[in-house]
Amino acid sequence: MSRRAATPTSIGHEPRLSIGKTGGPAATIRGVTTDFPAATILGYPRIGPGRELKHALESYWAGRTGRAALEEAGRRLRAQTWARLHELGLRAPGALPSNTFSQYDHVLDAAVAVGAVPERYRGAADPYFAMARGADGLPPLRMTKWFDTNYHYIVPEIGPRTAFAASPDKPLAELAEARALGHATRPVLLGPVTLLRLARAAPGAPGGFSPLDRLDDLLDVYGELLSALAPHAAWVQLDEPIAVVDGGSPALRHAYRRLAALTARPRLLVATYFGDAGDALPALAVAPVDGIAVDLTHGVPRNLGLFEGRTIVGGVVSGRDVWRTDPDAARALLAAAGATAVGTSCSLLHVPYTLRGESALPESSKAASPESSEPASPESSKAASPESSEPAGRESSKAGLPEGLAFAEEKVAEVVSLAALGPKEGPLPQRPRAAGTLGVESRAPYAAREQAQRDLGLPPLPVTTIGSFPQTGELRAARAAVAAGRLPLAGYEARIEEEIARVIAEQEALGLDVLVHGEPERNDMVQYFAEHLDGFAVTRNGWVQSYGSRCTRPPILHGDVRRPAPITVRWATHAQSLTARPVKGMLTGPVTIVAWSFVRPDLPLRDVTLQVADAVREEVRDLQAAGIRIIQVDEPALRELLPLRKEEQEEYLAWAVAAYRRATSAASPGTQIHTHLCYSDAAEVLSAVDALDADVTSIEAARSAFAVAGFDRGIGPGVYDIHSPRVPERDEIESRLRAALATIHPSRLWVNPDCGLKTRTYDEVRAALSNVVAAAGAVRQSVR
Ligand code: MET
Ligand SMILES: [Zn+2]
């Protein structure tokens, strides 16, 4: 198991950027120089290299351990992280970020730091986790995606009466903790404008109210936070990714003018990321803030020259992909940007910890270890016969794996090494462009499809689920056993078939109308397909935080995508053979497969997605040929890939829709195509959702508001939130359904939960679904 260093590192000496200035006159605060370090990162993963935080959280939530153990786990992880980063070469004062750790979510932490804790949570036994996950009778705050990533944050609620108050305890404690370990860190706070822009108006706020109306009150609190930090930290990093979205906004100008004018404050580094922040730079430059961090992976933003003479952190090492940085291209970007320091394009939160231990890439699935709780799916062709399925001539697309990869640790080493090399003029890298025009495929008109689907014999308000049923410990143990050679493949497959039979029987007993097989064979809805498609590699331990304690292991898409054999047909047909009711075949859509994978950055995203669409299309065709009449192609990530900048959105949506239709248009009129979207503020892309032209769309509605009015094909607004263990009451479901009927014709309304049930227990699922069936039955009576 060899250590694969991504770049020659310069461990052993402090990096020095060879040219450029380090930002204004050096001053000394308690012996800490205010010079900005030559190398830094904007943030780091926090779940733990062995997912230690996940395990500590889950054991705390289950009541197996107490608060002290949870806090100790956090302390240990922070100490380990700082020590490792120091070892990798981030040694100058202020090079290490602090306050980037979070027990659940950094946006929730920011809300807590400014006192934005809604009144109803204040009495809870543990208000923090009550906001994050709900508590008895108290639903959690909403959750949604963090910009265009697959990380989810808790949406703060801010109203006209939110009593802001500074609580600097967490950043101060982390600073002190690091100092005690010998590290002078740079505290990171979410910036005030991004915090307000990501917040929603508290329920009950008057109609025209926007959280941004409270900017001045919030700035008072930020002033207090900054002055509390000032005696202990030379620099504070304020994260304002919103600058990329609404750079020209007067809020940014106003906020930073006020913060920069504070007398007792540390130096301010404003970190912009997830794209080109050019429009925001003039306001930040005149504020004046002391330094700016910019994402250079999208090119050099305009107006950066306004920062000449100040700290410019050039984010050349991507925090969004897992590929090595081309040092020449990076140095050319640093030179063109006039960067005075080297950084990551954003926090490294979005990439796995380390390539160490991934010695089996690209065929790591064969080596999945028994300790790993989610090894590769054993029946995957890659797992069963790693050598056999590789067509001749394709090896070249894999050349460079894993030598071409860099995870968080390797990226830190790159930052350090680039800082030592310094900028160098050279040609700037070009972004890949898709070639050729795009045709959009169509099925028969909806009216004809609806007619052809009548013989499915569904009642009004059909009840269904989103696909997955609880993933039990036994299933995971069986996967681990077969991976470790303790269980023969045939035994595992028989186990999956038994599980499918159980799931079918459960659904028949509950009285659902459209059944699912339950997805017991899938470790993950994207990874499972990636394991069965050429062109993807999967990791052993490449976990990335999705929300709270939930992690995913994004596959690595490195070459041409091809489906060597049918993937889901045997499970779907097995399920259908056990029941007279229709079984819905379950597939993950091309946009989601691509969105939740790490795509090689030199491949145009559109072309890659269309290739994946062709593979899904073959699966749709095979399911249909095998007698499956209803096929769901999930696209929960449709909105996630939406470019942050308005100008680029239309082009993206056009190809995303085209890819989905390519995947589904092989279905004959009598085959009912469903799609599913969740936690995605799908309302923003409503016309694209409509353009997918699915016969039925199920969509999260319980936890994030979604207006389904005007849909003239089947629509299933989720009737309860599956992210929380809370069982919904029958009455509450009934009133949701009646409310939906105010805008949706009864012949169009479907009844389903918000999302899949894999994270729930059977007890919760039975209780919840029986209330759903009862509620649907009652409402059905009144519409017949
Ligand atoms: C994140 S969307 C999940 C859809 C998938 N079919 C499931 O039920 O788990
Ligand atoms: Zn979902």
Same domain, yes or no: 476 and 408: no
User: What atom of ligand 1 comes closest to residue 588's alpha carbon?
Assistant: 6
Residue 436 lies in a domain: no
Tell me, in angstroms, the distance from the centre of ligand 1 to residue 470's CA.
Answer: 11
Q: What's the mean pLDDT in 720-728? A: 88
Same domain, yes or no: 520 and 646: yes
In this prediction, residue 700 carries a pLDDT of 86
The whole-chain average pLDDT of the chain stands at 89
Q: Do 216 and 263 touch, CB atoms closer than 8 A?
A: no
Q: Is the per-residue pLDDT at 357 higher than 60?
A: yes
Tell me which of 150, 521, 522, 586 to substitute to probe ligand 1's pocket, judged by most ligand atoms within 8 Å of the beta carbon.
Answer: 586
Q: What's the mean pLDDT in 271-280? A: 96
* pLDDT band of 571, cuts 50, 70, 90: very high
Same domain, yes or no: 363 and 454: no
In this prediction, residue 712 carries a pLDDT of 86
Tell me which of 676, 680, 697 to substitute to probe ligand 1's pocket, judged by most ligand atoms within 8 Å of the beta carbon.
Answer: 676
Tell me, in angstroms, the distance from the centre of ligand 2 to residue 714's CA.
Answer: 17
In this prediction, residue 359 carries a pLDDT of 72
556-562 and 534-537 strand pairing: antiparallel
Q: What are the start-end ranges of the E strands in 333-390?
A: 341-344
Q: Residue 142 gets which letter from DSSP?
A: P
Sign of the Cα torsion 260, 34, 244, 43 reads negative
Tell me, in angstroms, the distance from the centre of ligand 2 to residue 636's CA.
Answer: 6
- For ligand 1, atom 7, the nearest C-alpha belongs to 756
Q: For residue 645, what are the domain limits?
A: 446-783
Q: Do 209 and 159 touch, CB atoms closer than 8 A?
A: yes
The ligand with the least distance to the CA atom of 152 is 1
Q: Domain count of the chain?
A: 2
The ligand with the least distance to the CA atom of 699 is 2
Tell me, in angstroms, the distance from the centre of ligand 1 to residue 468's CA.
Answer: 6
Residue 440 lies in a domain: no
Residue 66 lies in a domain: yes
Residue 386 lies in a domain: no
- For ligand 1, atom 4, the nearest C-alpha belongs to 756
Q: What's the mean pLDDT in 433-452? A: 91
Same domain, yes or no: 417 and 505: no
Q: What's the mean pLDDT in 423-451? A: 90
- Residue 669 CB neighbour total at 10 angstroms: 17
Q: In what order do the strands lie in the sheet with 534-537?
A: 534-537, 556-562, 598-599
Structure confidence by residue, pLDDT tens digits, 510-565: 999 999 999 999 989 999 999 999 999 999 899 999 999 999 999 999 999 999 99
Tell me, in angstroms, the distance from the centre of ligand 2 to residue 675's CA.
Answer: 10
In this prediction, residue 58 carries a pLDDT of 97
The percent of residues in the chain predicted with pLDDT above 70, rounded, is: 89
Q: Which residue has the tokens 């939406």?
A: 642
Q: Is the per-residue pLDDT at 320 higher than 50?
A: yes
User: What atom of ligand 1 comes closest to residue 467's alpha carbon?
Assistant: 8
Same domain, yes or no: 324 and 461: no
- For ligand 1, atom 9, the nearest C-alpha belongs to 756
Tell me, in angstroms, the distance from the centre of ligand 1 to residue 589's CA.
Answer: 11
The ligand with the least distance to the CA atom of 701 is 2
User: What atom of ligand 1 comes closest to residue 758's alpha carbon?
Assistant: 9
183, 254, 298, 723: the active-site residue: 723
Q: What's the mean pLDDT in 420-426? A: 96
Residue 470 lies in a domain: yes
Same domain, yes or no: 361 and 483: no
Comparing 436 with 713, the larger pLDDT belongs to: 713
User: What atom of ligand 1 comes closest to residue 679's alpha carbon?
Assistant: 1
- Select from 534, 526, 528, 524 the least CA-distant residue to 558: 534
Tell me which of 526, 633, 634, 721 to substitute to probe ligand 1's pocket, judged by most ligand atoms within 8 Å of the beta carbon.
Answer: 634
- For ligand 1, atom 3, the nearest C-alpha belongs to 756
- For ligand 1, atom 6, the nearest C-alpha belongs to 467
Structure confidence by residue, pLDDT tens digits, 340-354: 999 999 999 999 999
Stretch among 131-145, 260-274, 385-399, 519-533 having the lowest mean pLDDT: 385-399
28-29 and 32-33 strand pairing: antiparallel
Q: What's the mean pLDDT in 219-226? A: 98
Same domain, yes or no: 342 and 453: no
Q: Is 723 assigned a catalytic role?
A: yes
Tell me which of 519, 591, 592 to substitute to probe ligand 1's pocket, judged by most ligand atoms within 8 Å of the beta carbon.
Answer: 519
In this prediction, residue 400 carries a pLDDT of 59
- Interface predicted TM-score (ipTM): 0.99
Q: Is the per-residue pLDDT at 370 higher than 50?
A: no
Residue 388 lies in a domain: no
Comparing 708 with 138, the larger pLDDT belongs to: 138
Q: Is the per-residue pLDDT at 703 higher than 80?
A: no
Tell me, in angstroms, the distance from the centre of ligand 1 to residue 518's CA.
Answer: 10
List residues near ligand 1 (CB under 6 A). 466-468, 525, 586, 634, 636, 676, 678, 755-756, 758
- For ligand 1, atom 1, the nearest C-alpha belongs to 636
Structure confidence by residue, pLDDT tens digits, 379-406: 654 543 333 333 333 333 444 576 799 9
Q: What are the start-end ranges of the E strands in 615-753?
A: 630-634, 672-677, 696-699, 714-717
Tell me, in angstroms, the distance from the centre of ligand 2 to residue 662's CA.
Answer: 21
Same domain, yes or no: 415 and 523: no
Same domain, yes or no: 363 and 503: no
Distance CA 619, CA 565 (A): 9
Residue 270 lies in a domain: yes
Stretch among 19-23, 142-146, 574-578 having the lowest mean pLDDT: 19-23
* pLDDT band of 2, cuts 50, 70, 90: very low
Tell me, in angstroms, the distance from the centre of ligand 2 to residue 637's CA.
Answer: 9
Tell me, in angstroms, the distance from the centre of ligand 2 to residue 514's CA.
Answer: 17
Same domain, yes or no: 412 and 482: no
In terms of Cβ atoms closer than 10 Å to its own Cβ (0-12, 13-18, 19+), residue 445 is: exposed
Q: Do 581 and 459 touch, CB atoms closer than 8 A?
A: no
Q: What's the mean pLDDT in 732-754? A: 93
Q: Residue 538 gets which letter from DSSP?
A: B
The percent of residues in the chain predicted with pLDDT above 90, rounded, is: 79
Distance CA 477, CA 475 (A): 5
CA distances in angstroms from 310 to 24, 268, 291, 335, 531, listed in the order given: 6, 11, 6, 15, 48
What is the CATH classification number for the domain harbouring 755?
3.20.20.210
User: What atom of ligand 1 comes closest to residue 525's alpha carbon?
Assistant: 5
- Residue 415 CB neighbour total at 10 angstroms: 31
Residue 18 lies in a domain: no
- Select from 311, 342, 516 the least CA-distant residue to 414: 342
- For ligand 1, atom 8, the nearest C-alpha belongs to 756
Same domain, yes or no: 177 and 284: yes
Tell me which of 465, 466, 515 to substitute to probe ligand 1's pocket, judged by most ligand atoms within 8 Å of the beta carbon.
Answer: 466
Distance CA 344, CA 294 (A): 9
Tell me, in angstroms, the distance from the centre of ligand 1 to residue 287's CA.
Answer: 46
- Select from 399, 255, 417, 262 the least CA-distant residue to 342: 417
Same domain, yes or no: 408 and 489: no
User: What atom of ligand 1 comes closest to residue 756's alpha carbon?
Assistant: 8
Distance CA 376, CA 540 (A): 8
User: What atom of ligand 1 comes closest to residue 465's alpha carbon?
Assistant: 8
Stretch among 108-117, 216-225, 679-688 having the lowest mean pLDDT: 679-688
Structure confidence by residue, pLDDT tens digits, 468-518: 999 999 999 999 999 899 999 999 999 999 999 999 999 999 999 999 999
User: What atom of ligand 1 comes closest to residue 468's alpha carbon?
Assistant: 8
The ligand with the least distance to the CA atom of 588 is 1
User: What atom of ligand 1 comes closest to residue 466's alpha carbon?
Assistant: 8
The ligand with the least distance to the CA atom of 754 is 2
